[in-house]
Amino acid sequence: MDKRLLISGAGTGETNNLIRSLRAGDPSLCIIGCHSDRFVLKKSAADRNCLIPSSTHPRFPDALRHVIEQEQVDLVIPNSDADVKAVSQVRSEVPCHLFLPQKGVIELCQDKYDLTAFLRSQGVPAPMTYPVTSLDRIEELFRQLGRPFPLWCRMRTGSGSIGAVPVRNPDQVRYWIRYWEEMRGVPAASFTLSEYLPGRDFACQSLWSEGGLILIKTCERVSYYGGWNRASGVSSTPALAKTVRDPRVVQVCTDAVRAIDSTASGVFSIDLKEDGEGVPCITEINVGRFFMITNIFDLTGRHNMALTYVRLALGEPVDIREAYDVAEDYYLVRDLDTLPGIFHADEFFEGIDDMTS
């Protein structure tokens, strides 16, 4: 497939991982990377790299069009929430292929409170959640939730579990939010309070085209990168994850996407945790972009998800008979400054002398 792709966030872990997956699927692809930070861009794995303004800068649309035209780009892949939003807003002006959900879907999914409230209204499992409107109403929110402690406090927008923390009493909520207000300039209204989900933690990545499910894969987060150093104890980025077969997770995720958009197209990357009764509940949907750990979905199973996305975006045929593609017991192992490794469970016994017994 002799095509030219432009991928944002070049040099970041997310985009370098995506490029790795695409090259494994089709080495003939020409990949152009772009980023607004030349230092990050220097680490890009793309074939060519372009420094452009930030996606929030007024000159971003013109710079994006210039790169597309100069490099004869066939497809733009925005690979962060901010870039997805920015590209979506100027999609009518982009002179090449895009494969993004509708603007309203992106806006809904990028507000975790609005998304959770919508899903619950549609009968899709999601944690009971209330917005924080005033620090004077925290006790009232505790009473409304009426759940066993701890509760879960987090921001309505953002990624990487930003601003997330378990809390046991109203004072902890107030201290936590006041810290963010005073030290980071984040207003109280940016936070929500919800029930705490104590169970297993799943990631589900899916591809859709005109309302049809094309491909879906699932994994479980086993441990978290930097989790011990975070107030929350968790992160959306695992240090260790494993592929799993769990039709319950698939059902919840497909119900959610169909409720959000009956004509869904693009990639939907969904986070879930089990509640106290073991029901998988959706905590957020990273719509329009791939997970940082996309390699576990691309380099295992029958189909490379990243490459399938490109083919769908370009209108090329894909031959997928079973949408739920499962290759069980593959593990993703990650750490700072190392290439993520993917191993089958049996491989952990190879080349290692066990001196523990």
Give pLDDT tens digits for 59-103: 999 999 999 999 999 999 999 999 999 999 999 999 999 999 999
Q: How confident is the model at residue 147 (pLDDT cuts 50, 70, 90)?
A: confident
Dihedral sign for Cα 348, 350, 352, 357, please. positive
pTM (2 decimals)? 0.94
C-alpha 237/C-alpha 134 separation (Å) is 31
**Per-residue confidence (pLDDT) for residue 227, from 0 to 100:** 65
Q: How confident is the model at residue 149 (pLDDT cuts 50, 70, 90)?
A: confident
C-alpha 250/C-alpha 319 separation (Å) is 20
CB 45 within 8 A of CB 14: no
Dihedral sign for Cα 270, 274, 280, 281, please. negative
From 125-134, 151-160, 173-182, the region with the lowest mean pLDDT: 151-160
Domain boundaries 201-349, corresponding CATH code = 3.30.470.20
Q: Which residue intervals of the chain bear CATH 3.30.1490.20?
A: 128-195
Superfamily of domain 128-195 in CATH is: ATP-grasp fold, A domain (3.30.1490.20)
Q: Which CATH number fits domain 4-98: 3.40.50.2300, 3.40.50.10860, 1.10.150.120, 3.40.50.20?
A: 3.40.50.20
Phi and psi for 264 in degrees, rounded to 5? -55, 135
Q: Please state, for a pLDDT cut of 70, what percent of the chain lies above it.
A: 98
pLDDT digits (tens, 9 = 90+) for 159-215: 777 889 999 999 999 999 999 999 999 999 999 999 999 999 999 999 999 999 999
Instruction: Name the residue among 132, 233, 228 with its Cα closest to residue 186.
Output: 132
Higher pLDDT pick, 351 / 56: 56
Around 60, how many Cα atoms within 13 Å sit in the side-chain half-sphere? 21
Residue 336, pLDDT above cutoff 90: no
Q: Which residue intervals of the chain bear CATH 3.40.50.20?
A: 4-98
Our measurement of the distance from residue 328's CA atom to the centroid of its chain's CA atoms, rounded to an integer in Å, reads 21
Report in angstroms the alpha-carbon separations of 213 from 119, 132, 256, 288. Answer: 19, 35, 12, 15
From 44-48, 75-79, 123-127, 332-336, the region with the lowest mean pLDDT: 332-336
Instruction: Name the residue among 9, 10, 87, 22 with its Cα closest to residue 298.
Output: 22
